[in-house]
């Protein structure tokens, strides 16, 4: 199943920069692994915000939920999930 996910990150203002940098490094490694195995298909920045839009290709709601919960930045995120379905006007294979 495909999902469009928007993630907005808001770290605590009093979080030390070194700690935040360590969390971001773990986040990047985790995200790269999911991209390499094909579950995190696309990721785009939202210009001017600490946010992204991503496309996930996973087996269902439970798998996506677990992936999102395992993100190191998850405690500092607001997340919106939109399940996607094929559009009848799309070219075959899209």
Angstrom distance (rounded) from CA 11 to CA 67: 19
How is the chain classified by DSSP, letter by letter? -EEEEEEEE---TTS-HHHHHHHHHHHHHHHHHHHHTTSEEEEEEPTTSSEEEEEEE-SSHHHHHHHHHTSTTGGGEEEEEEEE---TTSPTT-
Residue-wise pLDDT for 12-66, tens only, equals 999 999 999 999 999 999 999 999 999 999 999 999 999 999 999 999 999 999 9
**Domains of the chain and CATH, by start:** 2-84 (3.30.70.1060)
Is the Cβ–Cβ distance between 55 and 2 less than 8 Å?
yes
């Amino acid at each position: 199943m495909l999902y469009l996910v928007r993630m907005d990150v808001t770290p605590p203002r009093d979080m030390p920069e070194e700690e935040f940098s360590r969390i971001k490094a773990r986040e990047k490694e985790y995200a790269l692994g999911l991209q390499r195995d094909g579950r995190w298909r696309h990721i785009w920045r939202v210009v001017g915000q600490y946010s992204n839009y991503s496309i996930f290709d996973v087996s269902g709601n439970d798998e996506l939920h677990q992936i999102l919960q395992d993100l190191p930045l998850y405690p500092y995120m607001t997340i919106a999930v939109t399940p996607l379905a094929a559009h009848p006007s799309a070219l075959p294979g899209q």
